[in-house]
Structure formats: structure tokens, C-alpha cells
Amino acid sequence: MIINFFKLLINEFYLMLKGSVLSLTLFSLLLIASTIFALALRHTSLGLEIPLAFLWIIIFFITIIKVEKVYQSDFSEAKLQQYILSPFALEIIIFLKNVMIYFNLMFFFIIFSPIILIILNIELSYLLQINALLSLSLLSIVFISSMTASLTISKNNKFSITSVLTLPLFIPLLIFSMAITDIIDFNGNNKIYLFFVAYFLLNLAFSPLLTSFALRKLSV
């Protein structure tokens, strides 16, 4: 069983590396979008809030696109049957896949973040704090996106329409992310950032179950 688990882990890692081209493309587009945003508002004093809000929203859309493309590729009908027949529960496979997607996105963000902050005219002294906060919020975004993706790729059109029901789950993340300037220094008296941890644990409890349920509809 342990050997099979490591084989599964290696396979998911390989699929993550294979999908890195898409991640690189998406973050390259993020650089272009950031440059256009910065040039369009170069004569306007924006402070810290607006550039960070722009960055968080773009990362939000990048994650949705990335997760949906991965699920369309890795959970095609033939591959889904193989996953279902594997010795591991589909929920475990979904968890590993989401974790690999998360590490893949964080890897590219850490590489691109200094350039992005310079383009958006954000002080590099905030680099570590921004990376830390994004790493916390991105966990929930990936797991919520997996539910959305599993519903969207369903062949049952009526079932796929219900994917809009997952959209309100992103709202708390966006709201708390907009308050990033209030907690960016991680001072000891402010525990708002713990919301991201708690919200991820909540999504972790339900996301693999709901995602696997929706994916099994593809095999029916």
C-alpha cells in the first residue's frame, strides 16, 4: 500500500510538472496585465490597497483557470475510471492533486512576485508578508476551485449549472484579502490572518468529498 501511495504521489508530481507550461503562461499574462494596469494609472497615486486588490483578483482568476484545465485533462472519462479503480479513495487523489496545483502556483508566484511588486510600485519590504498571506488564501481558492471545476466539466448540463453555487465561497477570501494592508505587518495583536487558516480547514473538510461526488457523476 505504501509503495502504491508513493507511485501515486510521483505520478501526481509528474502531472504537476507537465502542467507547468500553463502556469508559466498564466503568470506571464499576469506580468502583462500588471504592466498595463500600472501604465494606465501611472499618473495616479494609488497607495497600497488598489494594486494589491488588483493582484489578488488576478490570482483568483488564474487559479480558477489552472484548476479547471487540470481537472479537464486529468479527470477525463477514461482517466477517471482508472482513478476510481485504484486502491485509493478518490478523495485522497483529489487532495493530492489540489496540493500539487497549490505548490505549482506558489512556486511560480514566488518567482514572479518581486517583478510584479516592482511593476505595481509596491515596496519590496512587503514581499515576504504578501507571499505568506497569498500562500494562506490560495489554499482555500484551490480547493474551492476544484469543486467548481468538477461541476463545470460534468456532461450533465443541468448539473454543471450548479457550479455557480460555489462562487459565494470565494467572497470571504476576497473581502479579507482586501483588508491586507491592515494585517500586512503580522503584528502580534492582530489575528485576522488566522481566518485564512480556519477557512482552509473548513474547505478541506468538504471540498474533496463534494469534488469526488461531482466527478463520479461523469462515470455514471
Q: Please give, one letter per residue, the 3-state secondary structure of 173-205.
A: HHHHHHCHHHHCCCCCCCCCCHHHHHHHHHHHH
- Give dist(CA 7, CA 86) in Å, integer: 11
Residue 101 pLDDT level (bands cut at 50, 70, 90): very high
10-32 average pLDDT score: 89
Q: Evaluate if residue 157 carries a pLDDT over 90.
A: no
92-96 average pLDDT score: 91
Window from 35-39, 66-70, 77-81, 121-125 with minimum mean pLDDT: 77-81
Q: Evaluate if residue 182 carries a pLDDT over 70.
A: no
Residue 104 pLDDT level (bands cut at 50, 70, 90): very high
- Give dist(CA 105, CA 198) in Å, integer: 21
The residue ranking higher by pLDDT, 103 or 88, is 103
Q: What is the pLDDT of residue 165?
A: 63
Q: Evaluate if residue 189 carries a pLDDT over 50.
A: no
Residue 82 pLDDT level (bands cut at 50, 70, 90): confident
135-161 average pLDDT score: 77
Q: What is the pLDDT of residue 7?
A: 80
Largest CA distance in the chain: 61
Contact between residue 153 and residue 64 where contact means Cβ atoms under 8 Å apart: no
- pLDDT above 90 covers what percent of the chain? 20
110 is written with which cell numbers? 514566488
Q: What is the pLDDT of residue 198?
A: 87
Q: Which pTM was predicted?
A: 0.87
Q: Evaluate if residue 16 carries a pLDDT over 80.
A: yes
Q: Evaluate if residue 158 carries a pLDDT over 60.
A: no
Question: Considering the chain, what is the average pLDDT of its residues?
Answer: 81
Q: Evaluate if residue 184 carries a pLDDT over 60.
A: no
Contact between residue 52 and residue 130 where contact means Cβ atoms under 8 Å apart: yes
Listed residue (140, 162, 164, 141) closest to 214, CA to CA: 162
